[in-house]
Amino acid sequence: MALALKEAQAAALRGEVPVGAVIASGDTVVAAAGNRTRELADPTAHAEMLAIRAACQKLSSERLTGHDLYVTLEPCAMCAGAVSFARLRRLYLARSTKRAARWSTACASSRHRLATMRPISIRA
């Protein structure tokens, strides 16, 4: 999660919404990214999407089975869909919100398990 927070801070320094994401398998980081929507002029360039794309390219696979996603803010609907399509094993959130709790409940019936970590504030 520390690397995801660093990505979020780097995104903030670039003038982006401060969100960072890391994909890992155990202690091995496969990909890390921060939001780059403004830099890339791409509304889909959320940290989670960029990390998922990078991990899939690195692994030459459209699935990330057995990998976990660490993200500093609960995923939006687009990223939540990508998390599901990528078949990530677990999603760890740095912040706990009511919305995340609802998302967790929604995912409880699916193959995904949500582990909410202690809340951490991100300063932009």
**Catalytic member of 7, 16, 39, 48:** 48
Does 33 sit near Zn ion (CB under 5 A)? no
- Going by DSSP bridges, is the β-strand pair 68-71/113-116 parallel, antiparallel, or unpaired? unpaired
The residues, any chain, with a CB within 8 Å of residue 111's CB and separated by 6 or more, are: 87
37 phi, psi to nearest 5 deg: -65, -40
Catalytic (active site) residue 48: yes
Does 46 sit near Zn ion (CB under 5 A)? yes
Q: Which is nearer to Zn ion, 60 or 116 (CB)?
A: 116
Residue of 3, 76, 107, 120 interacting with Zn ion (CB under 5 A): 76
Residues that bind Zn ion in the complex, under the rule CB under 5 A:
46, 76, 79
